[in-house]
Structure 1
Amino acid sequence: MHVKAKTMAFGGLLLALTVVFMSLGSIIETSTLFLLAAASYFVGIVVREFGLKTGGAFYLAAVMLGFITAPNKFYVLTFAAMGFYIWGIEAVWKWLEKRPMMQKRHTVFWISKYLIFNIVYIPIIIIFREMLFAQAASDALLIGVFAGGQIGLFIYDRAYDYVQLHVWGKIRGRVL
């Protein structure tokens, strides 16, 4: 497999930043979700710049390095879920790009986003129920947590779009 030096160097820098953000999320507790979201956005940058395979390798390397270096392993699992979501929506976007004649591509994309998110989110709510809640959680509380997750996804996704279009769009020309 032939890997270009520029791709490898840039990927290594982004991987280092990803691990630093994950570790900082463990240290600066008030900004944990912000830092983990920022770390997961690097997965999307690698996918958009170098493709799905390289992005998948980057994602797996970030998760493995996170487990080795980050003090709080639960935050690495949170990053893994966020990074998987980013990789998944980028995969769907690339799949839809190959089908320009497909009707209602925007609707298919949004449904795919919520489907990918809920494939990860619902099992987390169910499996880690005791860890997430101090007391026994009622069904009404779980429904509220589910609805809150959907709203959180909307905000997270909008922030990702903003970072990709405005922040990375401006920096990209100087870096690459």
Structure 2
Amino acid sequence: MLADTTRLTAFHNAMAEVIANSDCVLDAGTGTGILAAMASHLTAGRVVGVEYLKDTASFAKQALQASHPGRVDVIQGNAAQVDIGTPPDVVVSETIGALGPEENIVGLTHALRQRYPDIGAPSSRHGCASWRNRSSPRRRTLFAQAPSERSRGSSRAVCRSQP
């Protein structure tokens, strides 16, 4: 993902349409922290990356502390169970594995909806889903990153809006 500039640009553009200046953003399954880093440029609010794997969380914490000091908190644990304090206004996630469901995107999305019921329903499409708090005055917009049929190395953004 880090070398796929087309995909990263699509993620950034999707998040830029959803994240407001003071939003609290949760990056569920932060991995390297790339989406959390992007979110930290889009909001002055708190950004939290939660990663299940201990070594990956440690790497993300070190990388984000070096590149974005004090802007992103990284927590090791299950994103649907970790207490991040204030509920997020926006959730972003890229938890689809190379084969599809092995990173548990469906279960994670369902658990996050149960934990944060005021967050708008996420898209059922795979990839990066960003969704806003329903109590927000702005329209809820859902974004998904789907693989391109043209090649394995490129992607295209798929956007869906809900009134």
Q: Which has the larger radius of gyration?
A: 1
Greater helix fraction, Structure 1 or Structure 2: 1
Greater strand fraction, Structure 1 or Structure 2: 2
Q: What range describes the TM-score normalised by the shorter chain of this pair?
A: 0.3 to 0.5
Higher RCO (C-alpha under 8 Å, 6+ residues apart):
2
Structure 1 length normalisation: TM-score?
A: 0.32
Structure 2 length normalisation: TM-score?
A: 0.34
